[in-house]
């Protein structure tokens, strides 16, 4: 039945929303096939794309909240200023609680990541928007940056003592080499899980919404649509509510994991 | 002939182009855009730019400002609490002073009342004494007058008795001995 409906005219392109496209031109079909060494039509690294647009809007939103919103510097804050203060306090407390007082040096970096992710996630919920954080390139860049920073900080702060992170001194001696191997592997898997968790969550929810959206016009095509269309619209609403939750939670998870990794770098001993 | 060859060649090129186009389109639309590596460089470049700008805006303007606001608020709250504490101490001191003043005033009032009472008592005593003295003088005078009256009355009684006795004696036909009558009356009055 489903296949019939496909051919009838329902179009499923749940992944099209993630396409990166140049803002001021169309990529000629066939002008970018790297497998066949045709790259003259490919995206140039400096070209402004829809990703550029939505990252720019993220920047503007952050500017509006944290700079324009706090313009008054009021002792008794305006609404916007309390939201800005809330965000500041939220991340500040998280860094302090998880990574400790000496982790606060890294608060601006962590806050930058948190702001970018949370605003990208929420802007991505606007219909027609590109969710930049649903792209593995974006999340992997951030996760690798965190990984490299944390590893560097670990070695600079503790020298070779940082390797103690992998040497579980509370375990029986015989088990320690095995555990060390597992710890090392899990350490290097960190950036992978860190980035895929965020991109995967953002992508999956948006794709599911798109699939439900594709079912919505069924009422125009077939009688069964009388039942399917309201259901799919309801499902879109429910998914959207869930996505609002996910948008915040995934930003929170990315940030708190960054704090945990930072804690390991600052205090590597179990 | 040459024309046809060119045409044929053109057609072949066109066909190849179409095929490539179709293949490219398929490749682009089939997979996940997330795995289209030709966009990675672009995304990472713009991400780096965006993160750098966000970091710049936050560290140069937003974070110092919000940190300042929070510190100011904390300072204001602390200083307000200290000021309130001070005012409370002042109020307590003022209350103590007020109570002390009240006690003092009450004591003063009691003293004044006692003094006034003593003065009045003195005046009263003086007046009483004066009145007593006057009363005593008047009483003494009255007693004297009563004594005088009493003495006068006794004398009169003696005279009347003598005269009466003489009259009775005369009526009985005798001749009264004045001296004897007087002695008899006097003795009778004493007895």
Give contacts of B22 with chain A, Cβ < 8 Å. 29-30
Q: Is there a contact between B155 and B147 (Cβ–Cβ < 8 Å)?
A: no
Would an 8 Å CB–CB cutoff place B56 in contact with chain A? no
pLDDT of residue A270: 58
The total number of structural domains that make up chain A = 1
Q: pLDDT 10s per residue in chain B (191 long)?
A: 444 444 544 444 444 444 444 444 444 445 788 888 888 999 999 999 999 999 999 999 999 999 999 999 999 999 999 999 999 999 999 999 999 999 999 999 999 999 999 999 999 999 999 999 999 999 999 999 999 998 888 888 888 888 888 888 888 877 777 788 888 888 887 76
Domain extent at residue A85: 47-266
Q: End-to-end CA distance of chain A, in Å?
A: 57
Nearest by CB to B54, which of A13, A62, A134?
A62
The candidate with the shortest Cα–Cα distance to A256, out of A93, A140, A88, A124, is A93
Measured CA to CA, the distance from residue A165 to residue A184 in angstroms comes to: 9
Q: How large is the average pLDDT for residues A152-180?
A: 89
The reply to whether A38 falls in a domain is: no
Q: Do B24 and A33 touch (CB under 8 A)?
A: yes
pLDDT of residue B28: 45
* d(CA A224, nearest CA chain B) in Å: 29
The reply to whether A29 falls in a domain is: no
Give contacts of A124 with chain B, Cβ < 8 Å. none
What does the block give as tokens for A183?
A: 């710890």
The candidate with the shortest Cα–Cα distance to A139, out of A88, A86, A195, A189, is A195
The reply to whether A3 falls in a domain is: no
pLDDT of residue B13: 46
Q: Is there a contact between A133 and A202 (Cβ–Cβ < 8 Å)?
A: yes
- The Cβ-side half-sphere exposure at B150, using a 13 Å CA radius, reads 6
The reply to whether A2 falls in a domain is: no
Q: What's the pLDDT tens digit per position in A199-229?
A: 999 999 999 999 999 999 888 888 888 899 9
Q: Do B72 and A75 touch (CB under 8 A)?
A: yes
Q: Do A62 and B39 touch (CB under 8 A)?
A: no
Q: What's the pLDDT tens digit per position in A101-150?
A: 999 999 999 999 999 999 999 999 999 999 999 999 999 999 999 999 99
pLDDT of residue B72: 94
Q: What's the pLDDT tens digit per position in A15-41?
A: 888 999 899 888 888 888 888 888 888
pLDDT of residue A164: 86
DSSP string, B127-176: HHHHHHHHHHHHHHHHHHHHHHHHHHHHHHHHHHHHHHHHHHHHHTT---
pLDDT of residue B191: 65
Find the residue in B nearest to A67 (Cα): B62
Measured CA to CA, the distance from residue A194 to residue A206 in angstroms comes to: 19
Q: What's the pLDDT tens digit per position in A47-101?
A: 999 999 999 999 999 999 999 999 999 989 999 999 999 999 999 999 999 999 9
What is the band of A5 on the pLDDT scale with cuts at 50, 70, 90? very low
Would an 8 Å CB–CB cutoff place A15 in contact with chain B? yes
């Amino acid at each position: 039945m489903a296949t019939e409906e496909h051919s009838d005219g329902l179009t499923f392109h749940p992944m099209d929303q993630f396409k990166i496209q140049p803002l001021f031109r169309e990529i000629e079909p066939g002008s970018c096939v790297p497998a066949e060494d045709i790259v003259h039509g490919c995206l140039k690294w400096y070209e402004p794309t829809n990703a550029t647009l939505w990252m720019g809007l993220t920047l503007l939103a952050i500017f509006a909240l944290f700079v324009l919103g706090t313009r008054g510097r009021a002792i008794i804050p305006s609404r916007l200023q309390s939201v800005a203060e809330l965000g500041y306090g939220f991340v500040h407390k998280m860094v302090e609680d998880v990574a400790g007082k000496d982790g606060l040096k890294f608060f601006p970096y962590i806050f930058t990541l948190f702001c970018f992710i949370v605003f990208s996630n929420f802007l991505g919920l606007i219909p027609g928007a590109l969710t930049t954080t649903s792209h593995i390139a974006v999340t992997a860049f951030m996760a690798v940056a965190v990984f490299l920073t944390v590893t560097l900080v670990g070695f600079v702060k503790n020298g070779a003592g940082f390797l103690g992170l992998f040497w579980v001194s509370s375990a029986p001696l015989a088990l320690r080499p095995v555990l060390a191997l597992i710890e090392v592997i899990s350490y290097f898997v960190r950036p992978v899980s860190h980035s895929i968790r965020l991109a995967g969550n953002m992508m999956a929810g948006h794709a599911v919404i798109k699939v439900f959206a594709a079912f919505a016009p069924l009422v125009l095509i077939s009688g069964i649509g009388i039942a399917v269309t309201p259901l799919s619209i309801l499902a879109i609403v429910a998914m959207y509510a869930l996505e609002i939750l996910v948008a915040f939670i995934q930003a929170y998870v990315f940030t708190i994991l960054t704090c945990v990794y930072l804690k390991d770098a600052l205090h590597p001993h179990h | 002939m040459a024309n046809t060859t060119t045409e044929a060649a053109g057609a072949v090129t066109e066909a190849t182009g179409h095929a490539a186009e179709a293949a490219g389109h398929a490749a682009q639309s089939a997979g996940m855009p997330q795995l289209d590596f030709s966009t990675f460089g672009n995304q990472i470049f713009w991400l780096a730019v965006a993160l750098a700008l966000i970091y710049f805006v936050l560290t140069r303007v937003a974070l110092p400002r919000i940190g300042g606001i929070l510190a100011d608020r904390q300072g204001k709250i602390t200083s307000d609490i200290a000021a309130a504490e001070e005012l409370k101490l002042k109020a307590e001191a003022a209350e103590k002073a007020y109570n002390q003043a009240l006690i003092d005033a009450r004591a003063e009032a009691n003293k004044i009342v006692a003094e006034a009472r003593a003065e009045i008592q003195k005046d009263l005593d003086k007046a009483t004494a004066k009145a007593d003295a006057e009363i005593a003088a008047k009483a003494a005078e009255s007693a004297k007058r009563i004594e005088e009256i009493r003495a006068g009355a006794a004398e009169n009684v003696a005279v009347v008795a003598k005269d009466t006795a003489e009259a009775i004696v005369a009526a009985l036909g005798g001749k009264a001995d004045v001296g004897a009558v007087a002695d008899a009356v006097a003795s009778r009055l004493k007895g």
